[in-house]
């Protein structure tokens, strides 16, 4: 089941997924999703966030979110448009704040104004945004991995120093004389400083 918590800025995330047998879905509730339908969060903290249904989630059960089938418009373009500030922030979120708890209904979503260029331009814009978004996501993923590796290196370094595998005097002697890691002073001066502070 795809719920509001599985929708994040245009993407479906596999966080705390709930698995439901489609046979247990009430009859008459058209809850099975098709590829390129768009899920829009109807209430709560994620109100008005949305994501297009990729092929791997075709046939999944929709939670209590709004499901939009793009008609006469490129589904990818519409998915990006619904995330654009002039639609999401200026129209959908504003409409959802009319109640104490943020809530968006089908009528409020249906009257949102979306600028529609020609079909060819819609496809070109969506392809461009897909490419740029993929590049950004790759950079983010790479950066997160680098941070993870630095954390592992830090932990290993601390363990090696504590266990005596690394002599910090040798490391200190190898530090550069200039730059952000430059150290001006001897190891004895550092010891005296720490004794005064201690």
Buried b / exposed e across 142-181, counting CB within 10 Å, b at 16+? eeeeeeeeeeeeeeeeeeeeeeeeeeeeeeeeeeeeeeee
| Local confidence band at 15 (pLDDT 50, 70, 90 cut-offs) | confident
Q: Can you tell me whether residue 142 is helix, strand or coil?
A: helix
Q: Is residue 15 part of a domain?
A: yes
CB 40 within 8 A of CB 74: no
| Local confidence band at 167 (pLDDT 50, 70, 90 cut-offs) | confident
CATH of the domain at 31: 3.90.220.20
Q: What is the mean pLDDT of residues 153-176?
A: 83
**Co-location of 96 and 161 in the same domain:** no
| Local confidence band at 143 (pLDDT 50, 70, 90 cut-offs) | very high
Domain that holds residue 135: 117-175
Q: Please give the mean pLDDT across all residues of the chain.
A: 87
**Co-location of 107 and 156 in the same domain:** no
Please name every residue paired with 40 in a beta bridge, in sequence order, or none if there are none.
Answer: 50, 66
Q: Which residue carries 């201690």 as its tokens?
A: 198
Residues whose CB falls within 8 Å of the CB of residue 97, separated by 6 or more in sequence, listed in order = none
pLDDT given at position 197: 60
Please name every residue paired with 38 in a beta bridge, in sequence order, or none if there are none.
Answer: 52, 68
Q: Which residue carries 């479906």 as its tokens?
A: 12
**Co-location of 86 and 169 in the same domain:** no
Distances (CA, A) of 7 to 57, 91, 143, 166: 12, 19, 23, 47
pLDDT given at position 39: 94
Highest average pLDDT, of 91-100, 113-122, 159-168, 186-195, comes from 113-122
Distance between CA atoms of residues 77 and 107, nearest Å? 21
Q: Can you tell me whether residue 8 is helix, strand or coil?
A: strand
pLDDT given at position 109: 95
Q: What is the mean pLDDT of residues 28-37?
A: 85
**Co-location of 13 and 110 in the same domain:** yes
Number of domains, the chain: 2
Chain segment 39-84, per-residue pLDDT in tens: 999 998 889 999 999 999 998 888 878 999 999 999 999 999 999 9
Higher local confidence (pLDDT), 91 or 183: 91
pTM of the shown model: 0.74
**Co-location of 22 and 73 in the same domain:** yes
pLDDT given at position 185: 64
């Amino acid at each position: 089941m795809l719920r509001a918590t599985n929708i994040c800025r245009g993407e479906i995330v596999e966080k705390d997924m709930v698995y439901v047998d489609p046979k247990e879905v009430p009859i008459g509730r058209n809850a099975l999703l098709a590829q390129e339908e768009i899920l829009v969060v109807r209430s709560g903290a994620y109100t008005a966030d949305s994501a297009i249904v990729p092929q791997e989630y075709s046939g999944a059960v929709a939670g209590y979110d709004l499901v939009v089938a793009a008609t006469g418009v490129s589904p990818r373009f519409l998915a990006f448009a619904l995330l654009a500030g002039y639609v999401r922030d200026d129209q959908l979120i504003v409409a959802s704040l009319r109640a104490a708890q943020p809530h968006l209904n089908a009528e409020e979503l249906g009257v949102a104004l979306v600028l529609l260029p020609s079909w060819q331009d819609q496809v070109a814009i969506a392809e461009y945004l897909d490419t740029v978004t993929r590049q950004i996501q790759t950079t983010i993923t790479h950066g997160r991995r680098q941070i993870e590796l630095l954390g592992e290196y830090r932990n290993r370094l601390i363990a090696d120093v504590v266990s005596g595998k690394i002599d910090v005097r040798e490391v200190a002697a190898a530090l550069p004389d200039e730059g952000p890691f430059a150290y001006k002073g001897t190891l004895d001066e550092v010891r005296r400083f720490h004794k005064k502070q201690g």
